[in-house]
Structure 1
């Protein structure tokens, strides 16, 4: 029996999918598995939120694309985000092959109808960090791509060469805060199996992705090898050069901190880190880069 789709099927699917994501993705568990996205239920039927083979999802019965997906790739495969951001600070998403393919047509229709989409960004094999709602704000035919706004503010920015310097900087900062930093955090935390590399705390909401070389530095790339999963206390201590990490992954505590007398946090949380070794990711490619650690360690030694 074929059940009629009814009026505004497109809008109902989008609203239901985003409501489900808001409930599903919490501070403790902000990522969603591929199999969950493929099994999404709506009004008694299965409507996958991602395509099983393609990066653009345009379900039957919907005029515009529902979602876009960026597949997880390791740091060695490509530089993270290198070709994803335009000079205006807005994210770009490439067409899938032939511009006339139904999925690419779905992107153009989503632009014309001004409908919201979901963007699933791979942080590990089969694991995605969702961004929603996002909007297609222009179609760049010659480049076979679309520009994507991450929030309402970006939807009203000028596009391309007419972007003012103030708009460009604002848009770049917004993209950094809304997408690059959260993706970097989740990739690092996933690599360290949701634990602090120093104290092994496993509460995801209390974990950060600490940069070895800060992201404001030209070498501070958003790669897992430039990050360490640390709890908020040890992240702050690392940033303040209270703790340092040698290139051989051994932790050092600043000398004056070792001589202090205080409560249990100082003793157990900081002083007892002296000469412990970081717990490293399983994949060697995800280990902290020794050269970056050495550069950062020299800054720590200077602070001593």
Structure 2
């Protein structure tokens, strides 16, 4: 089948399918989905290979995807992919006889600037789809490729290895944000059972992992105790200090909203939650919102 449909058409269809299934990369996918759920031309077309980190379909000149797995019983990926000092991510080549053709598929993708898909392991057989990504250079002495994770990074790739410090810091920040935010979101959703802390809405596509203390501030680490699972309306209200959460998990709505008369969304979506405790909190005490961080954020709400 791979020869019946041009590889560029399959690639485009795969990117479109992933965009729909993952809601533009915000929802994780499982290995079972990636192996069985995508089809093109009426035929199943796996997006990953069993036991291999690089997917170069038979007859293709370029690779389709790369994968960084989390093995069973482990908390992190088995491979040592990492951010480089220039702020770009690195992906390790496969250094064995079976990997020669796969590595060549990556080199061809780099030369042609073909978009790739990166499946980054969040847990065993669970992945965050990061796409499209591009290979910008090969560092043969280190057996790795330089990977741009955003279109902006691709445009900024320098012809020189020298970087201004501000640019290096910016690139490192964007790389880490794209890599670490999905892990944070995955863990927060697990802790809250994929339900909004305020209203218990359970549709993942309508939920966000919100920081209590913003990640750009001191104390804003991407840890579950600094996170809340919030539906999009309550996340927006929390960010704009319309909705506050006390350290004892009581919800407050700003007085100016309580005095307004509007439609049912205002009444049921916000006003009715005033004075109520959070409807959903993690079962494990170690994962519950940090009271000190809640107090810090609640003070900002009261000042608004």
Check the 8 A contact 2:249/2:278 in 1, yes or no: yes
- Give the structure 2 partner of residue 274 of structure 1: 275
- Give the structure 2 partner of residue 93 of structure 1: 91
Q: Mean alpha-carbon deviation: is it higher for 235-244 or for 222-231?
A: 235-244
What is the Cα deviation at residue 164 of structure 1?
A: 2.9
- Give the structure 2 partner of residue 57 of structure 1: 55
1:150 aligns with 2:146: no
| Partner SS state of residue 13, structure 1 | helix
| Partner SS state of residue 49, structure 1 | coil
CA distance in 1, matches of 2:201, 2:220: 25
What is the Cα deviation at residue 299 of structure 1?
A: 4.5
1:34 aligns with 2:31: yes
Check the 8 A contact 1:150/1:175 in 2, yes or no: yes
- Give the structure 1 partner of residue 244 of structure 2: 243
Q: TM-score, normalised by structure 1?
A: 0.75
Give matches, 1:207-246, under 5 Å: 207-239=207-239, 240=241, 242-246=243-247
Check the 8 A contact 2:76/2:122 in 1, yes or no: no
Check the 8 A contact 1:198/1:273 in 2, yes or no: no
Check 1:20–1:206 CA distance in 2 against 1; reply closer, same or farther (3 A cut): closer
- Give the structure 1 partner of residue 188 of structure 2: 188
CA distance in 2, matches of 1:23, 1:212: 29
What is the Cα deviation at residue 49 of structure 1?
A: 0.6
Return 5+ residue gaps in structure 2 as ranges. none
- Give the structure 1 partner of residue 131 of structure 2: 132
Check the 8 A contact 2:138/2:144 in 1, yes or no: yes
What is the Cα deviation at residue 67 of structure 1?
A: 0.6
CA distance in 2, matches of 1:242, 1:16: 41
1:171 aligns with 2:171: yes
- Give the structure 1 partner of residue 12 of structure 2: 15
- Give the structure 2 partner of residue 111 of structure 1: 110
What is the Cα deviation at residue 214 of structure 1?
A: 1.4
CA distance in 2, matches of 1:279, 1:159: 51
CA distance in 2, matches of 1:190, 1:13: 33
Deviant stretches of 4+, over 6 Å: none
Check the 8 A contact 2:117/2:129 in 1, yes or no: yes
Check the 8 A contact 1:118/1:131 in 2, yes or no: yes
Check 1:189–1:95 CA distance in 2 against 1; reply closer, same or farther (3 A cut): same
- Give the structure 1 partner of residue 162 of structure 2: 162
CA distance in 2, matches of 1:273, 1:94: 51
Residue-by-residue CA offset, 1:58-95 (whole Å, 9 max, x unaligned)? 23322332111233589x9359xx97322322222233
RMSD after superposition? 4.0
Total equivalences in the alignment: 292
CA distance in 2, matches of 1:20, 1:85: 28
Check 1:301–1:112 CA distance in 2 against 1; reply closer, same or farther (3 A cut): closer
CA distance in 2, matches of 1:302, 1:24: 37
CA distance in 1, matches of 2:207, 2:27: 13
Check the 8 A contact 1:95/1:145 in 2, yes or no: yes
What is the Cα deviation at residue 199 of structure 1?
A: 0.9
| Partner SS state of residue 101, structure 1 | helix
CA distance in 2, matches of 1:121, 1:213: 26
What is the Cα deviation at residue 115 of structure 1?
A: 2.0
Check the 8 A contact 2:87/2:171 in 1, yes or no: yes
Check 1:64–1:195 CA distance in 2 against 1; reply closer, same or farther (3 A cut): same
